Amino acid sequence: MIGLLHQISSGIASGAIYASVSLALVMIYQATHHVNFAQGEMATLSTFVALTLIHAGVPFWGAFVITVVLSFGLGVAVERVLMRPVMNAPVLTSVGVFIGLLLIINALDGWIFGFTIKSFPSPFHSAHPLLGGLVSPHELGETGLTVVVLTLVWLFFRFTPLGLAMRAAAHNPSSARLCGINVSRMLGLGWGLAAAIGAAAGIMVAPVVFLDPNMMSGILLYAFAGALLGGIDSPLGAVIGGFVVGVLENIFGAYIVGTELKLTVALIIIVAVLLVKPAGLLGRAVQVRV
């Protein structure tokens, strides 16, 4: 029983990370109907930047904030330079461009920061065991921080005029323009925000999985599974899907398929969702083109 509880709580901890990346993916999908395959690599790059800052003597939270802000800029830049020209191009073009970006960032990470696996400091420490030793301080802190980030994002979209405008631009760009909204600026902001969320997730997961250029590839896969499970056009669904995938991954890994096959769980979830409920839990019905 304690074992199961432990699996669930650490599933929630990794689910928080997946939820963040799922949300980043879905935000972009909703606005552009393209999937940013480089979302994970962008987050890895951000995490390397954070580590460099920390090694240069910047305090952890200072490095965190600086990195998130820089990542926001990176997201905006990627939208301007790469996304905009392929906005209305066929899916193949955008897939090609974002896979290209994935390759470039991955290689540059290795080139600049090295291919060796690096440990990453955690800001969360505790002298006492937490919740009866059920969770590590980092798990608890990481989950808490991620939940705070996700809540802030939700508040932003739900209650600020800018957040509303971004949602409007994603749902219905031409109507948004008729309300005086600069849609292309909203898209840039959306990419910036997605990259910032990804950066926070990268920094939070790095102490657990350690940092190397491929750190996010598995996480991106779980995030895809989470996004599809929740509904690829539903941000709330993505967050829920991310948490569910985290818990499922841990339980399946511990009791059914073994930890060696954890990534396969993501594949199984994806195939199962597409078979059973392609729209996901909260998504709108997908047009089935049979």
Partner 1 sequence: MPALLEARGLRAGYGPPDVLHGIDFTVEEGGVTALLGANGAGKSTTLRALCGMIRRAGQITLGGARIERAATEEIVRRGVGHVPDGRGTFLELTVEENLRLGAYTRRDRAGVAADMERMFGYFPRLKERYRQQAGTLSGGEQQMLAIARALLVKPRLLLLDEPSFGLAPLIVREIFHILRRINAEERTSILVVEQNASLALDLADHAFLLETGRIVVSGTASAIRQDETVRRSYLGY
Partner 2 sequence: MTGNRSALGGALVVFAVLLALAFVSDSYHLFQLTMLVVYAVAVLGMVVLTGYNGQISLGQGAFFAIGSYATAILMANYNWPYWATLPVAAAASALVGFLIGFPALRLGGLYLALTTFALAVAVPQVLKVDALSGLTGGVQGLTMDKAEPPFHLPLTGDQWIYLFTLGVGGLMFLLAWNLTRGRIGRAMMAVREQSTAAEAMGVSLAGIKTRTFAVSAMLTGVAGALSSIAVQFVAPDSFNFFLSITLFVGLVVGGVDSIPGALFGGAFIEFVPNIANDISKAAPGVVYGAILIGFMFLMPRGVGGLLARALRRGRKLAAPAE
* Site for partner 2, rule CB under 8 A: 34-35, 37, 82, 85-86, 90-93, 95-97, 99-108, 110-111, 115, 213, 217-218, 221, 224-225, 228, 258, 260-264, 266-267, 270-271, 274-275, 278, 286-290
- Shortest Cβ distance from residue 57 to partner 2 (Å)? 27
Among 68, 176, 204, 227, binds partner 1 (CB under 8 A): 176
DSSP 178-241: HTT--HHHHHHHHHHHHHHHHHHHHHHHHHHH-B-TTHHHHHHHHHHHHHHHH-TT-HHHHHHH
Minimum gap (Å) between residue 192 Cβ and partner 1:
19
Q: Which is nearer to partner 2, 54 or 227 (CB)?
A: 227
**What residues have CB less than 8 Å from 77, skipping those under 6 apart?**
none
- How many binding residues for partner 1 (CB under 8 A)? 17
Q: What are phi and psi of 278, to 5 degrees?
A: -60, -25
Residue closer to partner 2 by CB (options 121, 264) is 264
Contact between 180 and partner 1 per CB under 8 A:
yes
**Residue in the block written with tokens 């993505």:** 238
Least distance CB 146 / partner 2 (angstroms):
23
Asked if residue 204 lies in contact with residue 256, where contact means CB atoms within 8 angstroms, the answer is no
Is the distance from CB of 149 to CB of 200 less than 8 angstroms?
yes
Residue 89 interacts with partner 1 (CB under 8 A): yes or no: no
Contact call for residue 175 and partner 1 (CB under 8 A):
yes
168 near partner 1, judged by CB under 8 A: yes
Q: Does 172 bind partner 1 (CB under 8 A)?
A: yes
- CA-CA distance, 132 to 144, in Å (whole number)? 18
Residue 34 binds to partner 1 (criterion: CB under 8 A): no
The rounded distance, in Å, linking the Cα atoms of 124 and 128 is 12
Among 2, 61, 132, 174, binds partner 1 (CB under 8 A): 174
Beta-carbon contacts of 288 under 8 Å, excluding residues fewer than 6 positions away, are: 278
